[in-house]
Amino acid sequence: MPRLTLRAFGPAQPHPDTAQSLRAAFGAMVGLMFVQAVLWALGRLAGLPDLGLLAHPLVMAPLGASAVLIYAVPSSPLAQPWSVVVGNTLAAILALLALRLGLPPTATLGLAVFVSLVLMAWARCLHPPGGAVALATVLAAPADLHASLIWLVLTVFAGSTLLVVFGVGYHRALGRAYPYQP
């Protein structure tokens, strides 16, 4: 019996197809580079200081997790455009609202993720990186309301939307279905 228990901690996924893994990794890399370049340009148009393309603060770490879903498992319900864009944006909005409550930081972090999960599930846009978006928003959003709204639109909404748009084009160029319709 202990041997069966230990197996439960091993890989649950079958061995990957190398070509498919490389296509997914390449798509995620180029998609994130595209998002970073466009957000940098949008930031310049919005009058944000030029920190250089590679040091731009508008690319958010949870988008890396969104990219894994979009490019590696495009048929997952968690990777669909509604889940990515609405899930990430809703999580950021809720985190900004949690910040306005003036709670201690630990409570704010927990509340932002809790409310995000509940409302993403209710809105049928569950996207695991949304939990990370809520957390990152609490940790990194500007304190000023106006600046935090600009940050929300440029970083989360535009970044998620651009990643999805690039994903649609990338998968279509490869002859694959995305968004996936069962």
pLDDT of residue 110: 96
Q: Which amino acid is at 112?
A: A
pLDDT of residue 74: 95
Peptide bond between residue 128 and the one before it cis (omega within 30 degrees of 0)? no
Q: Which residues of the chain have pLDDT under 70?
A: 1-4, 48-58
The domain limits of the chain are 19-173
Q: How far is CA 112 from the centre of its chain?
A: 16
Share of the chain above pLDDT 70, in %: 92
pLDDT of residue 111: 98
Distance (Å, whole) CA 130 – CA 113: 8
Task: Yes or no: say if 127 and 66 are a contact pair by the CB < 8 Å rule.
Answer: yes
pTM above 0.75, yes or no: yes
Q: What is the 3-state secondary structure (H, E, C) of 38-69?
A: HHHHHHHHCCCCCCCHHHCCCCCCHHHHHHHH
